[in-house]
């Protein structure tokens, strides 16, 4: 799944945990699937090199020499004691275990031997899970190759919108499957060209999935990379489906919130602020939309009650878990890596175990993460506000 942040950022109260538990419907389903999940074939090796160390890592959890630092792509991993991880003894690890079991469906090679134990521990208590982690994993503070260790945490979510299978007077904004002329990594028509050039429109004709009323809702789906859509069929029945990322026009992403700030059009670049500006300035709506040349195309996936308890599949190829999955720069943190995350700010105070399972074109740098918070309006409100300092520690097999 490839997604973007919303504005400067709007993307993507004292605790995010209560918000996330209220947002999640079917949390118990995730636990059931987690217990049943097996450990399938590993992910291919990262594209930008392998983790290498010149000396062994400490054998005891918090004693003895720490060993060498690790170089992973664009990041440097410094070995640390478990005592450095803020809040490690307080986290509700069973929530993270559901995401970890998902990663064991496509584990990184280094975690293949550990995945059977991860599955067995899914029914263990937090104390036993914590003791196992201290014994089998070494924490590494993630740092950039140059510069400060503090990074940036933002958030993303799945919008939920209404649509119809056929265009109507009130719903005339199309969401598309990839056009036949699309070629990976080759720029296709911009958003403005799609709206104005007959040859672009001809390639999209017949590729419509559904029709929305609000072009900003369509833009939000494209920014987030996926969404849940309640589609009214021609016979009047309503189906809940997921639209998942299937490609893009390979044009650069430009934040509409940043564009509005540069125009001096508003000071509040949150998504509610952007929508309020659009309502007050309908004559400039098209200009706003065209400021972002990037367009995302989708594929439709069924969303039954069981699947509705999970997020979309991330770049690792496994379903995301609200509050426990993050998107990272894959050149700094391999997919499937357990990460200890610490971030404090006005939107949330987070000290918890998460799993690197996704990426995004705006998620660049060693200490950079996008935090998946679920779906629907409440998740969107949190995602729009979360922009705060970040520290991360990779938890890697000894």
Looking at residue 2, its pLDDT comes to 57
Q: pLDDT at residue 37 above 90?
A: no
CATH homologous superfamily of 2-45+52-154+311-371+391-397 equals: RlpA-like domain (2.40.40.10)
Angle at 180 between CA 189 and CA 292, to 5 degrees: 25
Q: pLDDT at residue 5 above 70?
A: no
Q: Which CATH architecture has domain 156-302?
A: Beta Barrel (2.40)
Looking at residue 267, its pLDDT comes to 86
Task: Report the candidate in 349, 390, 356 with the shortest Cα–Cα distance to residue 87.
Answer: 349
Range scoring the smallest mean pLDDT among 22-31, 167-176, 274-283:
22-31
**Residues spanned by CATH 2.40.40.10 within the chain?**
2-45+52-154+311-371+391-397
In whole angstroms, give the CA distance from residue 324 to residue 164: 33
In whole angstroms, give the CA distance from residue 78 to residue 87: 19
The pTM of the whole model exceeds 0.85: no
For residue 394, name the pLDDT band (cuts at 50, 70, 90). Answer: very high
At 353-390, the pLDDT tens digits run: 999 999 987 899 999 999 999 999 899 989 988 999 99
Instruction: Kindly write down the DSSP assignment for every residue of 100-140, as one continuous string.
Output: HHHHTTS--GGGTTTHHHHHHGGGS-HHHHHHHHHHHEEEE
In whole angstroms, give the CA distance from residue 100 to residue 87: 19
pLDDT over 90, % of the chain: 73
Q: What is the average pLDDT across 257-269?
A: 90
Burial of 54 (0-12, 13-18, 19+ CB in 10 A): exposed
Distance of CA 143 to the CA centre of its chain: 21
Q: Which residues contact 235 (CB under 8 A, 6 or more apart)?
A: none
Structure tokens given for 107: 């584990």
In whole angstroms, give the CA distance from residue 287 to residue 163: 24
At 310-355, the pLDDT tens digits run: 899 999 999 999 999 999 999 999 999 999 999 999 999 999 999 9
The helix/strand/coil state of 98 is helix
Contact present, 79 and 55 (Cβ < 8 Å): no
Looking at residue 4, its pLDDT comes to 57
The helix/strand/coil state of 278 is helix
Looking at residue 55, its pLDDT comes to 36
Q: pLDDT at residue 235 above 70?
A: yes
H or E element that contains 281: none
Looking at residue 307, its pLDDT comes to 85
At 153-211, the pLDDT tens digits run: 999 999 999 999 999 999 999 999 999 889 988 999 999 999 999 999 999 999 999 99
Contact present, 114 and 337 (Cβ < 8 Å): no
In whole angstroms, give the CA distance from residue 360 to residue 356: 12
HSE-CB for 255 with a 13 A CA cutoff: 21
Task: Report the candidate in 78, 60, 124 with the shortest Cα–Cα distance to residue 97.
Answer: 124
**Residues spanned by CATH 2.40.240.50 within the chain?**
156-302
Q: What is the average pLDDT across 12-33?
A: 38
At 42-89, the pLDDT tens digits run: 444 433 334 443 333 334 457 778 889 999 988 999 999 999 999 999
Q: Which residues contact 50 (CB under 8 A, 6 or more apart)?
A: none
Residue with tokens 């594209």: 47
Residue 301 phi, psi (nearest 5) = -125, 140
Where helices occur in the chain by DSSP H, the ranges are 16-23, 27-36, 93-103, 115-120, 126-136, 191-196, 198-204, 215-224, 256-262, 271-280, 285-290, 377-385
H or E element that contains 77: strand 75-79
CB burial string 63-102: b at 16+ within 10 A, e below: eeebbeebebbbbbbbbeebeebeebeebebbbbbbbbbb
H or E element that contains 242: strand 238-248
Residue with tokens 């009323």: 213
Highest mean pLDDT (candidates 15-19, 61-65, 210-214)? 210-214
Residues in a beta bridge with 176: 208
Residue with tokens 């938890």: 395
Q: pLDDT at residue 39 above 60?
A: no
């Amino acid at each position: 799944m490839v997604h973007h942040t919303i504005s400067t950022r709007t993307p993507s109260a004292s605790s995010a945990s209560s918000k996330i538990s209220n947002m999640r419907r079917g949390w118990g389903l995730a636990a059931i699937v987690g217990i049943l999940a097996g450990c399938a074939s590993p992910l291919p090796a990262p594209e930008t090199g392998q983790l290498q160390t010149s000396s062994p890592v400490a054998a005891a959890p918090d004693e003895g020499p720490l060993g060498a630092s690790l170089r992973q792509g664009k990041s440097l991993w410094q070995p640390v004691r478990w005592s450095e991880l803020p809040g490690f003894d307080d986290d509700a690890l069973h929530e993270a275990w559901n995401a970890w079991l998902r990663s064991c469906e496509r584990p990184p090679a280094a975690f293949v031997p550990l995945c059977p134990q991860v599955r067995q521990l899914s029914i263990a208590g937090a104390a036993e899970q914590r003791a196992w982690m201290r014994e089998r994993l070494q924490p590494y503070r993630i740092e950039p190759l140059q510069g400060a260790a503090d990074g940036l945490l933002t958030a993303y979510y799945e919008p939920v919108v209404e649509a119809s299978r056929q265009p109507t007077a009130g719903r005339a904004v199309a969401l598309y499957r990839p056009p036949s002329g699309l070629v990976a990594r080759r720029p296709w028509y911009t958003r403005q060209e799609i709206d104005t050039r007959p040859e672009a429109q001809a390639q999209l004709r017949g590729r419509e999935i559904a029709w929305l009323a609000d072009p900003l809702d369509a833009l939000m789906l494209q920014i987030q990379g996926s969404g849940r859509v309640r589609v009214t069929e021609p016979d009047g029945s309503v189906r809940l489906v997921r639209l998942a990322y299937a490609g893009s026009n390979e044009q650069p992403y430009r934040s509409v919130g940043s564009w509005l700030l540069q125009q001096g059009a508003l000071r509040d670049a949150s998504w509610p602020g952007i929508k309020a500006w659009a309502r007050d300035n309908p004559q400039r709506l098209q200009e706003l939309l065209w400021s972002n040349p990037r367009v995302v195309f989708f594929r439709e996936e069924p969303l039954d009650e069981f699947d509705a308890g999970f997020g979309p599949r991330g770049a690792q190829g496994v379903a995301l878990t609200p509050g426990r999955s993050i998107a990272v720069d894959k050149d700094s943190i391999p997919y499937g890596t357990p990460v200890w995350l610490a971030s404090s700010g006005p939107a949330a105070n987070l000290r918890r175990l998460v799993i690197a399972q996704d990426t995004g074109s705006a998620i660049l740098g060693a200490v950079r993460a996008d935090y998946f918070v679920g779906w629907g309006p409440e998740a969107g409100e949190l995602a729009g506000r979360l922009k705060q300092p970040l520290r991360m520690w990779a938890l890697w097999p000894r």
